[in-house]
Structure 1
Amino acid sequence: MRLIRPVHQVLALIICSFLIGLGSNLFRNRPLPLLANHLELAEPGDDIVSILADPTIREIDLKMAKDLFMSGKLFVDARAIEYFKQGHIPGSVANDDIDALASDIESRIGQNVAFIIYCSDDDCGSSEDLAYELQDLGFMNILVFKGGWKDWSEAELPLETSE
């Protein structure tokens, strides 16, 4: 009988914690979704001007990444600095420190101009994580290139090293 009481107490604490967490989320300015949302995919047929005008986080493919690179858009590498030094998309910015990165992006293009974040490949979640962190800092138009460095280098597009 003594064992039942601690089990009930633990269960009550877990339920209270869950309810407090859920309740506090409801009162946030921008509540967190209860289930993760997938990024909206920008389709090849989509109008690039309308995509860049819509302040959100979107996923892009290799063709759109190449077109945006050719038009001079800023790229941000979400990989660790040692991978960035081994090779990256020319002109891209390294993700070494989030505050320094945010300051660098803001000084280059401001918070409302579109830029692209990429990672190692489509299984890497760092680009999406970084996109949400930068959105929390006020950046409004972020495109995530899910194919990342792997797709870019396999397509034999321009590369740059920093070593």
Structure 2
Amino acid sequence: MGSLDKSSGSEVVTIDVVEAKHLIQSGYVYIDVRTVEEYKKGHVEAEKILVIPYMFNTPEGRVKNPEFLKEVLAFCKEEDPLVVGCQSGVRSLYATADLLKLGFKNVSNMGGGYLAWTGKGFGIKTEEPAVLQDKPKEL
């Protein structure tokens, strides 16, 4: 797994879904950085969950959400304990690194993402998110 380098303060710590589930159940905020469309299809069961996409799907492909850090700061303080997850663990890795660079102190990347979570048979939900940050799609 990852290691924590106290001197740099910006090395990403990746935890497995078992540890992530334990942290989420102990009160950590879970930030789902997938798109709202992905979230609606199913998401991690967590009491404190935010949907803040790290990337948006556009006709040109995926683009980074320029407001990502601002949106996280609107809901979370730098001291808040956070677990960041996505579909397979790639976007959450980059999102976690960005949060650490911004000064967040207690943030972990959920390795393997939602796919690993469901692979363990952990609880999921398919309801509408409380916080919709995605842009509506044109039909």
Question: TM exceeds 0.5?
Answer: yes
Residue 120 (structure 1) aligned with residue 71 (structure 2): no
Q: Which runs of 5+ in 2 are unaligned?
A: 54-66, 129-139
Letter in 2 for 1:61: D
1:100 has 2:71 as partner: yes
The residue aligned with 2:42 is 87
* Bigger fraction of residues in strand: 2
2:101 equivalent to 1:136: yes
Post-superposition offset of 1:55: 7.9
Question: 1:57 aligned to 12, 16, 22, which one?
Answer: 12
Alpha-carbon contact 1:117-1:131 (below 8 Å) kept: yes
Q: Give the alignment's Cα RMSD to 1 decimal.
A: 2.3
> Which residue does the alignment assign to 2:113?
148
Q: Distance in 2 between matches of 1:86 and 1:145?
A: 19
For residues 56-103 of structure 1, the C-alpha deviation after alignment (integer angstroms, 9 at most, x for no partner) is: 531101221121122121111121121012111134211134112221
Aligned pair count reads 108
Shift >3 Å, 4+ stretches: none
User: Deviations for 1:121-140, whole angstroms, at most 9, x for unmatched residues?
Assistant: 2xx42101111222232212
Distance across 1 between alignment mates of 2:20 and 2:29: 11
Letter in 2 for 1:117: V
Structure 1: gaps of 5 or more residues: 1-38, 43-53
In structure 2, C-alpha distance between the alignment counterparts of 1:75 and 1:57, rounded to whole Å: 16
| AA partner of residue 40 (structure 1) | G
**Partner of 2:29 in structure 1?**
74
What is the TM-score when the length of structure 2 is the normalising length?
Answer: 0.66
The amino acid across from 1:126 in the alignment is: R
Percent identity between matched residues is 23
Matched residue SS, 1:100: helix
d(CA) in 1 for partners of 2:97, 2:24: 22
Could you say which structure has the larger radius of gyration? 1
Q: Is the 8 A contact 2:20 2:110 kept in 1?
A: yes
